[in-house]
Every structure is written in structure tokens, then in C-alpha cells.
A = this chain, B = another copy of it.
Amino acid sequence: MQKEKYRLQLPGPTPVPPRVQLAMSRPMIGHRDPDCAQLVQDLSERLRPIFGTPNPVLLLTGSGTSALEAAAANTVSEGEEAAVVVSGAFGDRFAQILDSMQVKVHRLDIEWGKACRPEELADFLKQHSRVKAVFLTFCETSTGVLNPIPELAREVREHTEALTIVDGVSCIGGTPAKAEEWGVDILVTGSQKALMLPPGLAFAAVSDRAWKRVEANTHPRYYLDFRQYRKSLEKANTPNTPAVSLFFGLEEVLNMLEEEGLENVYARHRLMRDILRKGIEALGLPLLTENRDASPTVTAVKGGADWSVEDLRKELRQLGVRVAGGQQRLKGKVFRIGHMGYADPLDMLSTLSALEVALKRIGAPVETGAGMKAAEEEWIRVSRVNH
């Protein structure tokens, strides 16, 4: 196989569009230059509809995890109580971060592969109404579950005075988010998922209510201190030298999203999910999540009794397709297909085709073409509905 002709079907990093690559190749500029100030201001404002926030979005230079830690470090402190809904590896990461801060963590553990139900959260918060913040995961990357954030945020408001803090890393830009309307106080994401950029930028939308807590919170922090980001943003700046080339790329990403229209972007993601799921079901492979919980950005598929997930991933790699394995307790038990960002329905069909070939080659009992038929029919069906 041609080494570089492969499809990056991971739940991040995702492929970078050629025009975004080109934009990132612009000559470097100074981060205190008026050109950069204009860029920072434009980006932080144009990102707002993607988060559903009226406030300018903070631009952090770091991995998605830096934004998770920032969300925690700016809102709770040692000895305070916080609730974390853990429905997979990234909910668990929030809990780890809070543990490292010596916050008293109340975990609501959800079976991996299931979404948190509003009534579960309600029952849990009735026992922990003193928590200062509730940490939720929007799309749980490790399982492909999309948690029902609007309903969960409502329960937080109903039963506590806590802030609602949401990890949106693997879905923001691929699914609608209305932080303000839903009562989400902090919503964070990273650059390398549905936002089609290389990794290295992270984003945070912060509500007016959250800002009050941020200003007063005592946890020690410097690089991740939102107060410094806000102060700098008032001068269209960042507190430290930011990832300028990713800013160039982000400008082009926003052009692309605005040209397509956010609603169309979200519909494309749902379509990719549905095409893929129909195909996988028709092949007889069990999906980890039920339809109602399925994220439009990542799909986890269970391995079979008579074949190994890791063998399948190796075979797919040979065919030029990269899919992810399972994380932590799902290691060896599932594989995960990312379908977000610079991706379209035909990418799902070619992924499925490679999947059929790879499954056959490792001796799994599947009928070649069965997945393709079901997937194509779903695509045709949805196209008819939309015309």
C-alpha cells in the first residue's frame, strides 16, 4: 500500500483539509502584531455559534486535556465537593484531574456504552446537593455515547446551585451545542476532532455565571488561568504566545463551516453515523451503543467471539484505514470509528468496504457486500427524504 494513502478514521486526530493546511503555511506573524489581534478577536467571536455562547470563546494553546483541567482548576478548589458523571475514559479523566486537585469527588458511574439518564443524575444529585460543580461528558470518545446534555444540565439546575461543566472535545463542531440555552456554564473542546485542525489548540466557552466563580476560585493556576485569558482578550490578545499557525488554520476552518452552514454540517455528521451504523448492523456486528445514545462523531463496535479486534485493526491498517481500539476496560473488546470533521458519507462507505474485506481476511463470518447494501440504501433513503 502507499504509505500515506490512508484514511484516518480515528476519533481524533482527524484529517486536516488541504485548504486548512495551506492556510497554516502562511508566513509567521508576531503574536503582539495588530494582524494577530484582529485574528484573535475574529476567531473568538466567530466560534460563538459553534458553542452556543454569547461570550467570546477563549483560545488556549494546549491539548484537549489542558481545557479539561482549566475547566476544573478555575471553578473548584481543594476540599470542595464536585460531582462527575463517568460514562467512559474521559469522564474518568475529569475525575482524575479533580482527584489531583484534592477536590472531594462524587462519581456517578454509568455502564460504559450507555448514556447517563436524567433521572439517574437527579437521584444522584439529591444525595450530593452541596457540590460546587457537576462535570459531564458530551460525547464520551471511548464509547461513542452522546450524553443528553440539555436534560442533564436541567437536573443540575433543579437539584443544586452547582456549575455545569461539559467536556465537548469529541463532538463540538459536529453536533449542535447551545451552552447558554442549555445552562451549560463551561463548555470546552480541542482542535483535532470535528474542528478539522491539528492538535494543539483548546477552547472554552464560559457563562457569565461561571465567570463569578472563576474570579473567586482559589485553586492555584497560572498558565490555565481563565482570568488572564479574559483580561488579554479584552485587548484582543492571549496571555502567552499562542499557537499562531493553528489560528491561521482555524480561520479557514470557520470559513468552511460557515460556507457549508452549521445545520448542514450537523446533518452530514448524523448521516455519516446512520450510514455507518446500518452497514455495521447488516454485517451482524454488535454496536456498543443503542441508537438513541449514539454520537454523530464516533461509533464503537464490539468484537466477535471468533475473531480479535486487534487483528482486525491490523488488517484494516494494511488496507489503508486507521481505526482506534478500545480504551481502559474496553481494550481488546471494541474498535472505534471516528466520523467527524473533514469526512463525508462516501468515507463511511469506503471504511465499511475495507471493514468487510478485513473481516473476511481474518476469517470472521460475514457476508461480503451486505454492509455496503444496507449502508447505501440508508444513504439513498435519507437523500430522498431531503429532496
Q: Which of these, B15, B16, B63, B78, contacts A242 with CB under 8 Å?
A: B63
Q: Are the C-beta atoms of B13 and A244 separated by less than 8 Å?
A: yes
Stoichiometry, copies per complex: 2
Q: Complex formed: what's the CA distance from A64 to B61 in Å? A: 10
Chain B residues contacting A22 (CB-CB under 8 Å) are: 25
Residue ID in chain B nearest A24 by CB atoms: B24
Asked if A324 contacts B30 (CB within 8 A), the reply is yes
Q: Which residues of B sit under 8 angstroms from A245, Cβ to Cβ?
A: 16, 24, 198-200, 245
Tell me whether B102 and A220 are in contact (CB under 8 A).
Answer: yes
* Given A33-B322, A100-B221, also A12-B62 (CB < 8 A): no
Question: Which of B21, B97, B243 meets A199, CB within 8 Å?
Answer: B243
A196-B246 Cα distance, complex, nearest whole Å: 16
Docked Cα-Cα span, A319 to B200, in Å, equals 33
A interface residues, how many (CB within 8 angstroms): 56
Contacts of A8 in B (CB 8 A): 27-30
Quick check: is A173 within 8 A (CB to CB) of the other chain? no
Q: Is the CB of A130 closer than 8 A to any CB of chain B?
A: no
Interface residues of A, Cβ cutoff 8 Å to B: 4, 6, 8, 10, 12-16, 21-22, 24-33, 61-66, 69, 78, 96-97, 100-102, 190, 192, 198-200, 219-225, 239-246, 322, 324
A-B pairs, top 10 by smallest CB distance, nearest first, are A200-B243, A63-B240, A198-B245, A65-B240, A199-B241, A69-B223, A100-B222, A200-B200, A21-B25, A66-B223
23 A-B pairs whose Cβ atoms sit less than 8 Å apart in the complex: A6-B27, A13-B30, A13-B31, A16-B28, A24-B245, A28-B192, A28-B198, A30-B324, A31-B199, A32-B324, A61-B61, A61-B63, A61-B66, A63-B240, A78-B220, A101-B220, A190-B241, A198-B243, A198-B246, A199-B243, A199-B244, A200-B245, A223-B224
